[in-house]
Amino acid sequence: MKLFKRTRTFVKEISHHLKEKEYKEATQKLKRLFVGMRFTDGILYKVLIYTLLISLGYIYLYPVLYMITNSFMSVDDIINVAVKWIPTSFNWQNYQLVWDAIQYPLALKDAFILAIVPAVSATVSSAIIGYGFARFNFPLKKVLFVLMIMTFIIPPQITMLPTFRMYSQYNLLGSLRAFVYPAILGQGLNGAIFILIFYQFFRMIPKSLEESAQLDGASHFKIFTKIALPLAIPSIIIVFLFSLVWYYNETYLSGLFLRGSDLLTLPLRISQYINNYTSIYPEGSMARELMQAVKLAGNMLTLLPLLIIYFFTQRYFVESIDRTGITGE
């Protein structure tokens, strides 16, 4: 009898122990499933990341989707409160009006001239200046470096009037030189950012490479062109693409310095066309309602070249960002 009781007690203890072990194993499995081994491989972390990415993607894509759908709407669709996203019929006339009014192929060519020439100048000058700050010691280096940073911190509205008067004295207004000359001197649009990109990149290049080249009799210019620049191709791509986009989208300085010139950026040319057209008609007229869709069509025609450029260069752009993390000495 005692043996039977002991056996039954032993069996209960074993079953209880097995239940606790199964409970712990199940808990650990759920923990690994939801939290993961390092939290970053769990479901909760992935749900949080995907929710954040979808939210940010919606914030950025919503204006683009709104422009695309509304740019195809007719006047009836615009004034119809029942039509929100999908137009009753795709109205290509909005794009045709903008295309013909601004002579889009010619306007696009002028816009790329205004963007590419200063962008190339800014890339070259920023590489030279960034390399000089990174590799050479000279008098007042820190002072000049601070002044260079200040050119980005100070708002352009403060320097607008003296810059305009200086350009007027040197006969630069209404000419592409108003953008090219500052870019050559390292003071183009957001030039300080580009100099800092090259400065930080050249500082990460091991000095042993330059020292070896100097022992072989290479000059500083040859070291810069044969060693530093080939290694800086990721920074060159980043700087050029950013500079191209900023010059392409520039309207404030273009409207100020290129006034009276045939060369205008594409956003500024479309804005002038819309303003000239709507100023003829009274507020609330059907013509003004139509221009809302035409304006969105013009914005899409402005954005389309940049989307095409990004589509073909995104791989190089991402690779350039990844390759900038070079370990130096």
Give the model confidence (pLDDT) of 85-136 as tens digits.
Answer: 777 777 788 888 888 888 888 888 888 998 999 999 999 999 999 999 988 8
- For residues 31 and 42, give the distance between their C-alpha atoms in angstroms, rounded to a whole number: 8
**What's the whole-number average pLDDT of the chain?**
79
- Has residue 157 got a pLDDT over 80? no
How many Å from the N-terminal Cα to the C-terminal Cα in the chain?
Answer: 82
Asked if 109 and 86 touch (Cβ cutoff 8 Å), the reply is no
- For residues 94 and 106, give the distance between their C-alpha atoms in angstroms, rounded to a whole number: 19
The single-letter DSSP state of residue 326 is: -
The single-letter DSSP state of residue 176 is: T
CB atoms within 10 A of CB 245: 15
Q: Report, as an integer, the average pLDDT of 15-39.
A: 58
Structure tokens at 220: 């500083």
User: Between 274 and 180, whose confidence is greater?
Assistant: 180
Q: Report, as an integer, the average pLDDT of 178-185.
A: 90
What pLDDT was estimated at residue 42?
66
What pLDDT was estimated at residue 96?
87
HEC assignment per residue over 190-221 = CHHHHHHHHHHHHHHCCHHHHHHHHHCCCCHH
- For residues 272 and 103, give the distance between their C-alpha atoms in angstroms, rounded to a whole number: 13
Asked if 285 and 249 touch (Cβ cutoff 8 Å), the reply is no
What pLDDT was estimated at residue 209?
82
The single-letter DSSP state of residue 39 is: S
- Has residue 235 got a pLDDT over 70? yes
CA angle (223, 226, 227) in 5-degree steps = 65
Looking up tokens 């007042």 gives: 140
User: Between 281 and 162, whose confidence is greater?
Assistant: 162
Report the percent of the chain where pLDDT is more than 90: 7
- Has residue 324 got a pLDDT over 60? no
- Has residue 184 got a pLDDT over 60? yes
Domains with residue ranges and CATH for the chain: 18-71 (no CATH), 94-323 (1.10.3720.10)
Structure tokens at 158: 């403060």
What pLDDT was estimated at residue 93?
84
